[in-house]
Amino acid sequence: MSGRLADKVALVIGAARGIGKGIARRFAEEGARLVLADRQAEAGQGSADALGAQFIATDISRFEDAEAAVALAMSAYGRLDIIVQNAGIYPWQLIEDTSPEDWDRVMAVNLRGSFNAAKAALPPMRAQGSGRMLFTSSITGPHVTSPGHGHYAASKAGINGLIRSAALEFSAYGITVNGVEPGNILTEAMQEHRGPAFIADMESAIPLGRLGSARDVANAFLFLASDEASYITGTTIVVDGGQLLPEGNDFRMRPSGV
């Protein structure tokens, strides 16, 4: 621990498991005082207890829930320095099989949830004259996609647009707004819902030869939350092991057939 977030107050939304839990743990290691928020109350409370953090059950698609999470941070610690909106859903569903209600649910959590987080955190950060707003985007949507992820890709591309717009509008208040675009990250959910063959196939498409970890993503968030990133706003960091780099499927140094 180097104390890069010493005495900073951070609200991490979507922190019960996976990437969000990894972000919260990494922030705690660097001295942050934490509020965790998630729809999964039991898992979220367990993560909070392990980190000595506050917890609040939160459906980020509801603005009043976002306000309540921010209010808890303010009542517990008197300020809010960092907000991370990591909550998101990604049901596999072809566009032709997606109902308007299905589409709206993904947008409500992923995209409107990001708006709700920013909107709720703005008043205390504006009053302080400082703050870090951080969002989990994805390489899916802004750069690549695959069948079955139409709504998810659209929501993540929308988050990148929100990041840029909010960064511009909130710059006068001393608030920076940035995001992280993870590639394929080996989380508990992936291990539960994807088989070894699927995971091995994904690994084969990554030049560094492995899936990312929650800590890999958390380290990027830590940088953006720290004083080291004080002159960075309106951008995203890709954390994908080089997945976006190859022109084709064979990225070895000496491809076959050459």
What is the per-residue DSSP string for 156-211? Answer: HHHHHHHHHHHHHHHGGGTEEEEEEEE-SB--HHHHHHS-HHHHHHHHTT-TTSS-
| Alpha carbon distances (Å) from 48 to 85, 183, 213 | 16, 26, 20
State the residue for tokens 């995971």: 199
d(CA 136, CA 87): 8
State the residue for tokens 């990027």: 220
Spacing of C-alpha 75 from chain mean position: 24
| Six token digits for residue 224 | 């953006």
95: DSSP letter: G
Residue 239 dihedral angles phi and psi, to the nearest 5°: -125, 90
- pLDDT tens-digit profile, the chain (258 residues): 689 999 999 999 999 999 999 999 999 999 999 999 999 999 999 999 999 999 999 999 999 999 999 999 999 999 999 999 999 999 999 999 999 999 999 999 999 999 999 999 999 999 999 999 999 999 999 999 999 999 999 999 999 999 999 999 999 999 999 999 999 999 877 777 678 888 888 898 899 999 999 999 999 999 999 999 999 999 999 999 999 999 877 776 666 655
Beta strands in the chain (DSSP E): 9-13, 33-38, 54-57, 82-85, 131-136, 175-182, 236-239
Comparing CA positions, the residue from 131, 130, 129, 150 lying closest to residue 140 is 150
90, 152, 173, 231: which one is catalytic? 152
Helix (H, G, I), strand (E, B) or coil at 144: strand
Domains detected in the chain: 9-239 (3.40.50.720)
Judge whether 152 counts as a catalytic residue. yes
CA atoms within 13 A on the CB side of 243: 24
Count Cβ atoms below 10 Å from residue 49 Cβ, excluding itself: 11
d(CA 185, CA 33): 26
Angle formed at CA 81 by CA 169 and CA 135, multiple of 5 degrees = 60
Q: Are 40 and 89 in contact (CB under 8 A)?
A: no
Residues whose CB is less than 8 angstroms from the CB of residue 188 and which lie 6 or more positions away in sequence, other chains included: 17, 18
* Element containing residue 48 per DSSP (H, E): helix 41-51
| Six token digits for residue 37 | 């928020």
* Element containing residue 45 per DSSP (H, E): helix 41-51
